[in-house]
């Protein structure tokens, strides 16, 4: 996905032309979103932030889904409080992220118009074959 897509990551000549500080920054971001140990690096870093924080919702939804699907709601006719505790913890994380309002200066009408115009012209290529063909054209395979 994105810069980690094979069609992009294989472009060694292109990557080499990037200033080293941007390659280092990309490596740091990759480490931050590393899924190992249940996204531990991301969770630790978010835990250090002060709200407001925009959480990575797919991860929180995954947590809630696994908690719900992997644990019975009732055990021996009693409420499974451990399950409820785990669900509540995820909800606390969401509440924490939005516990303070984000205050931004309103954008100037001109800059907002320019941004909307730029975004409306963007086109996403999500066909892997097309991406690979473009990548090969840019940097043909070495033989």
Dihedral of CA atoms 98, 104, 108, 114 in degrees, nearest 10, equals -50
State the Cα–Cα distance between residues 130 and 73, nearest whole angstrom. Answer: 47
State the Cα–Cα distance between residues 11 and 8, nearest whole angstrom. Answer: 6
123, 129 in Cβ contact below 8 A? no
HEC string of 23-36 equals: HHHHHHHHHHCCCH
What is this structure's pTM? 0.71
pLDDT per residue rounded down to tens, the chain (143 residues)? 688 899 999 999 999 999 999 999 999 999 999 999 999 999 999 999 999 999 999 999 999 999 999 999 999 999 999 999 999 999 999 999 999 988 888 877 778 888 889 999 999 898 999 999 999 999 998 87
């Amino acid at each position: 996905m994105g810069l980690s897509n094979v069609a992009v990551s294989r472009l060694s000549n292109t990557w080499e032309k990037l200033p080293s500080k941007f390659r280092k920054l990309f490596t740091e971001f990759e480490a931050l979103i590393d899924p190992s140990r249940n996204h531990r690096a991301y969770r630790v870093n978010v835990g250090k932030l002060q709200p407001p924080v925009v959480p990575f919702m797919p991860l929180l939804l995954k947590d809630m889904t696994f908690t719900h699907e992997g644990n019975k709601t009732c055990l021996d006719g009693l409420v499974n409080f451990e399950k409820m505790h785990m669900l509540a913890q995820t909800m606390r994380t969401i509440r924490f992220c939005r516990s303070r309002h984000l205050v931004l200066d309103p954008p100037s009408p001109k800059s907002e118009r320019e941004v909307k115009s730029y975004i409306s012209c963007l086109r996403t290529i999500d066909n892997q074959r097309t991406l690979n063909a473009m990548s090969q054209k840019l940097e043909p395979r070495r033989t």
